[in-house]
């Protein structure tokens, strides 16, 4: 099962990952990070398919996707 790790200290709240996620499991949190931005959070981690689109689109490299087992790919990169 894939897992998403979002480094809140790097996230600037651009919401690109929210719109890019095909499973709609990323949302913006109500917490403010140290830089003063609302950062992204994963609200349904069990629905993640490990496509890595969120990590690819993140301009701040704040998202890591780790795959533990079967990986499904929507696109060939």
CATH number of the domain bearing residue 54: 3.30.70.20
Give the Cα separation of 62 and 10 in Å (integer): 5
User: Distance (Å, rounded) from C-alpha 12 to C-alpha 36?
Assistant: 8
Return d(Cα 24, Cα 26) in angstroms, integer.
6
Look up the domain containing 52 and give its range: 2-67
**Per the confidence metrics, is the pTM higher than 0.95?**
no
Any domain includes 35: yes
Q: Considering just the CA atoms, what is the radius of gyration of the chain in Å?
A: 12
DSSP 38-49: EEEEES-GGG--
* 12 domain residue, yes or no: yes
Q: pLDDT for 12-41, tens place per residue?
A: 999 999 999 999 999 999 989 888 999 999
pLDDT at 66 over 70: yes
Residue burial 33-61, b: 16+ Cβ < 10 Å; e: rest: beeeebbbbbeeeeebbbbbbbbeebeee
């Amino acid at each position: 099962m894939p897992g998403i790790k979002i480094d809140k200290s790097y996230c600037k709240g651009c919401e690109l990952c929210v719109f890019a996620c095909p499973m709609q499991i990323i949302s913006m949190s109500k917490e403010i990070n140290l830089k003063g931005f609302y950062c992204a959070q994963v609200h349904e981690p069990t629905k993640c398919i490990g496509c890595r689109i969120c990590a690819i689109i993140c301009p701040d490299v704040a998202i890591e996707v780790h795959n533990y087992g079967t990986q499904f790919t929507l696109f060939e990169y």
